[in-house]
């Protein structure tokens, strides 16, 4: 039987609480710093792709951002985030979808992805992701993608990942996106292991 990505992720969130997964963060500090550095306004549209149960949406709501969307392949992951936010969850647009199949009905000013793109080990899936991202972004839209670093782990959640350096990510995103900067992070997992991440900030050209 072929691999079912949705079942895989629903299965993970069925057995693990948000604070038990290796990618858990109490403070998505680098994401918040990079988002602030883009200069996006509180009314601008921001999408967190593969946001899962991350607290990024909570933190952005706290800061005053009003047009947030979170997309994830796992409904269970989004349920965790919605439960945590309580009545504030209605201020966020929640979408259960596979990012490689995502045809956005809206245009966003900022696309954020921490630890989703690196699961796309097939070139055709990466191509679909980048096309969908391009179509979902306004001209000059901001892109923040965090992956395992080029010397980071080979697997996450039992799945193979593709690791990136700035040079490799530039080739991947192609000429439609201008590289602005990258930031390295040593992420400490709840089990106390360090994982090397790199955050890439690009801007859509035109």
Binding region for ligand SAM (CB under 6 A): 5, 9, 23, 50-52, 54, 72-74, 77, 98-100, 114-116, 119, 156
Asked if 56 and 116 count as a contact pair (C-beta separation under 8 A), the reply is: no
Shortest gap between Cβ of 20 and ligand SAM (angstroms)?
A: 12
Name which of 44 and 72 has its Cβ closer to ligand SAM: 72
List strands edge to edge, sheet with 108-114. Answer: 92-96, 67-72, 45-49, 108-114, 137-148, 194-204, 177-188
Name which of 23 and 94 has its Cβ closer to ligand SAM: 23
Which H or E run includes 144? strand 137-148
Name which of 120 and 173 has its Cβ closer to ligand SAM: 120
Residues 204 and 183: their CA atoms lie apart, in Å, by 19
Using Cβ positions, the residue closest to ligand SAM within the complex turns out to be 52
Q: In terms of Cα–Cα distance, which of 30, 31, 15, 14 is closest to 70?
A: 31
Shortest gap between Cβ of 106 and ligand SAM (angstroms)?
A: 17
Angle, helices 123-136/166-173, rounded to nearest 10 degrees: 70
Shortest gap between Cβ of 91 and ligand SAM (angstroms)?
A: 19
Shortest gap between Cβ of 56 and ligand SAM (angstroms)?
A: 7
Name which of 74 and 140 has its Cβ closer to ligand SAM: 74
């Amino acid at each position: 039987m072929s691999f079912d990505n949705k079942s895989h992720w629903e299965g993970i969130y069925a057995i693990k609480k948000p604070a038990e997964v290796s990618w858990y963060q109490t403070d998505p500090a680098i994401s918040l710093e990079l988002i602030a550095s883009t200069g996006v306004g509180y009314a601008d549209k921001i999408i967190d792709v593969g946001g899962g149960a991350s607290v990024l949406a909570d933190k952005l709501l706290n800061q005053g951002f009003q047009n947030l969307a979170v997309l994830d392949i796992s409904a269970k992951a989004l349920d965790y985030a919605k439960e945590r936010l309580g009545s504030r969850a209605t201020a966020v647009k929640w979408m259960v979808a596979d990012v490689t199949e995502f045809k956005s009905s809206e245009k966003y000013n900022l696309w954020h992805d921490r630890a989703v793109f690196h699961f796309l080990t097939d070139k055709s899936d990466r191509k679909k992701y980048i096309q969908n991202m391009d179509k979902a972004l306004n001209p000059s839209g901001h892109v923040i993608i965090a992956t395992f670093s080029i010397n980071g782990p080979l697997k996450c959640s039992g799945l193979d990942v593709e690791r990136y350096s700035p040079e490799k990510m530039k080739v991947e995103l192609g000429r439609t996106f201008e590289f602005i900067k990258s930031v390295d992070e040593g992420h400490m997992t709840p089990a106390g292991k360090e994982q090397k991440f790199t955050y890439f900030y690009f801007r859509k050209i035109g």
